[in-house]
A and B are shown apart, each in its own frame.
Chain A
Amino acid sequence: GESVGLHLPTLSVQEGDNSIINCAYSNSASDYFIWYKQESGKGPQFIIDIRSNMDKRQGQRVTVLLNKTVKHLSLQIAATQPGDSAVYFCAENIGGYGNKLVFGAGTILRVKS
């Protein structure tokens, strides 16, 4: 079946440190992955995405790594800031354009000043 899960429900980091949030997915047919940030009372906010034909993609302070061999996705946040505190979800898309996203359970990131 289809499922996306996260290894760590809560991650606490010191301001300025790098954060790594992990996600395991089970459907090898997934062709597109997105990381979302969700702050309290708000909708998921797009952070970065990656297609299945890529292993790595970099954005501003964020990097997504995709390991299709072990069906693993990670989000790296460089120099974590207090404003990065939120819940982070990975989501996978199966089957191409217009299809639904399947979300993981979420990881709470707490940044300590």
Chain B
Amino acid sequence: EPEVTQTPSHQVTQMGQEVILRCVPISNHLYFYWYRQILGQKVEFLVSFYNNEISEKSEIFDDQFSVERPDGSNFTLKIRSTKLEDSAMYFCASSDGGSNYGYTFGSGTRLTVV
């Protein structure tokens, strides 16, 4: 069964450092997303990406965040200068946008900012 792959599974970084979280969406999917989940809380939408541009972003997705699809398979989330409150699980998802929507989530990257 096709899956969304995320690397690394766990990232520890110092406050103020830049991090890049990587995702390989399902190959025939057209829509890509990043969500985050602070420990014990619900999953929150960050950003959606389609046709090589951001289609929607939340209030959380400020200027410190950026996304990129550098090639035909990877989808990355960059946090330029991490803050303690950025510590969370970050989930990548993709969907085919078809009749069944087909949202699939990756297993997540646990980001710990110290």
Contact = CB atoms under 8 A, between A and B. Distances in A.
A49 B91 contact: no
Interface string B1-39: 000100000000000000000000000001101010000
Interface residues of B, number: 28
A88 to B, nearest CB: 12
A49 B42 contact: no
Interface in A36-85: 36, 41-46, 49
Contacts of A42: 107-108
A103 B48 contact: no
Given A49-B101, A98-B30, A99-B56, A44 B48 contact: no
A100 B33 contact: yes
Given A43-B105, A100-B56, A103-B44, 7 more contacts: A36-B105, A43-B91, A97-B101, A98-B97, A101-B103, A103-B43, A104-B42
Contact of A103 (B42, B50, B56, B107): B42
A103 B108 CA distance: 16
Contacts of B50: 98
A30 interface: no
Interface residues on A, range: 20 to 34
A98 B31 contact: yes
16 contacts: A41-B110, A43-B4, A44-B43, A45-B105, A46-B103, A89-B42, A89-B43, A97-B95, A97-B97, A97-B101, A98-B30, A99-B48, A102-B45, A103-B42, A104-B42, A105-B41
B107 A43 contact: yes
B55 interface: yes
A64 B102 CA distance: 17
The 7 closest A-B pairs by CB, nearest first: A97-B97, A43-B105, A98-B31, A100-B45, A103-B43, A43-B107, A44-B105
A46 B104 contact: yes
